[in-house]
Amino acid sequence: MPDAAATAESGDLKPSAWVQRFASLVPGSQARGVLDIACGSGRHTKLFLDAGHHVVAVDHDTSGVKDLASRLNLEITEADLETASGWPFANEEFAGVVVTNYLYRPILDDIVSAVAPGGALIYETFAAGNEQFGRPKNPNFLLREGELIDTVKDRLTVVAYEHGEIRAPRRAMIQRIAAVRSKRDQSHPRLDSDY
């Protein structure tokens, strides 16, 4: 499991600029709304709740979102995504899937599969080269160059992708992607088809 210091932005409660920039890609009016993976303090959960979305916030420790528990349109799921019980959202789809400062490679395909037709994936985390700036240094928690693009290729359409050094909120090597699934994605059969 990643160290909390490696996955948090030093207590920064402001939403990621990347997530804010691409939040409008997430369509409204879909029942399952937004899945905020490794939601931490709930900065992105709150961002999407305030925008009127239904949000499912998941983390192994949900105490960071307890102050949001009374909000309508919020489901809080406590689950350790890195255990044998693993991914609790099999066969579920969301209008938006948001991940920041978190990487567990065995569920990358599950994360992409959770994006509903017409939905969006917004992902931002540390990348190889971050070890020069501090934590995380473990390659298990650092994306390899092009890894997010390789993960979504042939499944989602990339809207934006970046890999490189950032200076704020602290110096780090990051990789981030915003991608969408076609509304008529053939990998998601229509319920009203005749087969």
Band of residue 188 on the pLDDT scale cut at 50, 70, 90: very low
H-assigned helices in the chain: 4-7, 17-22, 43-50, 108-113, 147-152
The CATH superfamily assigned to 14-180 is Vaccinia Virus protein VP39 (3.40.50.150)
For 3-48, write each residue's pLDDT tens digit.
333 333 334 589 999 999 999 999 987 668 999 999 999 999 999 9
Distance CA 45, CA 194 (A): 38
Query: Given the structure tokens 């993960």, which residue do they identify?
Result: 151
Please say if the pLDDT value at position 195 is more than 60.
Answer: no
